[in-house]
Amino acid sequence: MAHVQKLTFPIINKSYEQPTGLFINNEFVAAKSGKTFKVSSPLNEEHLCDVQMAEAEDVDVAVQAAYKAFKQWKLTEGSERAKLLNKLADLIERDRELLSQIESLDNGKSLLCSTFDLGIVISTLRYCAGFCDKKDGRLVDTGLTHMSYTKREPLGVCGAITPWNFPLMMFAWKIGPALATGNVVVLKPASATPLSNLYVCKLVKEAGFPAGVVNVIPGSGRGCGNAILHHPLVKKVAFTGSTSVGQGVMAEAAKTIKKVTLELGGKSPNIVFEDCNIEETIQNLITGIFFNGGEVCCAGSRIYIQATNPEWYNSFLQKFKAAVEKLKVGNAFEEGVFQGAQSTPDQFEEVLKYIEIGKKTSLKLLTGGNRIGSKGYFVEPTVFYDVPQDSQLTQEEIFGPVAVVLPFKSIDEVIEKANDSEFGLGSGVHTEDINKAIYVSDRLEAGSVWINTYNDFHAAVPFGGYKQSGIGREMGTEAFESYTQVKAVRAKIRTPVL
């Protein structure tokens, strides 16, 4: 196979063959310009390989291939599409260990996190496979003179632009519902983390998907991403990333009038009441902010802890501090590592910038606050406490392992503070009182509320944001609505003559 490079994982010293070409029409090909870009590992900052760089001309080739494939794919029986999605899930499960290692090498996340991601990838594809033959319309009763009904049809070529924090999970969240509903896909992975997506393209071909149904073209946002947004044959764009970039995506997509779904930033509140299960809650707080190095759009980075009883509040803080300081941070391939490296040098510097702001504004530091080592992008899990509601660290998304703790004394107070944000993606409530949990959940302005858990995803449960956190939903039956359009059919019925 052309455009392949042998890569070796650190510490475990295991090698594999990494595709480096653009995946168009079931083949790995060179970019038309001949340009490539470098991919490095955040674990040690070392160069991994050069990947072909897609630009506007390559986008057109991929879109044309997808459009040609769509003509037949949209007519393919749902049961056949289901077989192919299930086969892809089987192949990913077969190669799960290797794919987890590729994800950690390229992204920097711990193997624990990568392995978790692969579980969601597999379950998402299987859930979507189950929907392939369930795309129903409805009969509309409009009287005896007409027969009226609706049917849901695919849109056509769907563009997807995915981020670097969850490369494979976002791949599955985009292609799963698109293919299940009879669409075809041109996907641009983040240029910082294209390797796992390209490797899975081998499995797409092995599974037997027709050429052109899935196309993956790494490149820059400006050269490749904008070309997807502007292409007239692309009828829908699914984007996951920051709110600021999402605003641009929406504006650019409007130039050719296409459906847009956006899963954007967050600054999610995680609320702790005194009647919670302390041990379980502390683990949920850790999962909420330090899983994936805090590079999670719905990270529970605003932790509100009840302080009606100062003694309980201070005791909880110390237990939380002790648990955080037990977390192992380091190279993803080291045994027992919970938090790996930050994924990109820019994000690494951004996290350190916010920590420095916290220190300069005299916020109280509970734990952490430093870089680890001098090689690789490692940051101590960091918690500031007794932080004001109007602090920059309370209001702005940091996207790293940095949490702020804010005390509260009443339910109405914490609801007001929790909703005091331009974001509305995730939220958490920790209490043994189900009445309190439901009362608070009903009043939180967020697309997801986790009760006595956090970052707890399921393929059947929709995920998406309120306010500046996005439009549309990933997963669940709600995701399929974004990949279909409704056709109404109305037939006049003549009175039969015998």
CATH of the domain at 282: 3.40.309.10
Same structural domain for residues 108 and 231?
yes
Same structural domain for residues 242 and 330?
no
Same structural domain for residues 212 and 84?
yes
* Token duo for residue 211: 């050429």
Q: How many domains does the chain have?
A: 2
Same structural domain for residues 132 and 209?
yes
Same structural domain for residues 245 and 287?
no
Same structural domain for residues 423 and 480?
no
Residue 233 placed within a domain: yes
Residue 313 placed within a domain: yes
Residue 123 placed within a domain: yes
Residue 82 placed within a domain: yes
Same structural domain for residues 410 and 439?
yes
pLDDT at 2: 74
pLDDT at 221: 94
Q: Report the candidate in 325, 311, 392 with the shortest Cα–Cα distance to residue 355.
A: 392
Residues annotated as catalytic (active site), given as ranges: 263
pLDDT at 249: 97
Residue 466 placed within a domain: no
Same structural domain for residues 300 and 373?
yes
Triad 144, 150, 155: Cα angle to 5°? 160
Same structural domain for residues 364 and 312?
yes
Residue 102 placed within a domain: yes
Same structural domain for residues 407 and 479?
no
pTM for this predicted structure: 0.96
Residue 72 is part of a domain; what is its CATH number? 3.40.605.10
Same structural domain for residues 300 and 395?
yes
pLDDT at 497: 87
- Range of the structural domain that residue 23 is part of: 4-264+472-486
Same structural domain for residues 357 and 379?
yes
CA distance 178 to 409: 46
Residue 379 placed within a domain: yes
Regions of the chain short of the pLDDT cut 70: 1
pLDDT at 498: 86
* Token duo for residue 410: 């009443």
CB 171 within 8 A of CB 189: yes
Residue 493 placed within a domain: no
Q: Which residues contact 387 (CB under 8 A, 6 or more apart)?
A: 363, 364, 393, 394, 404, 405, 406
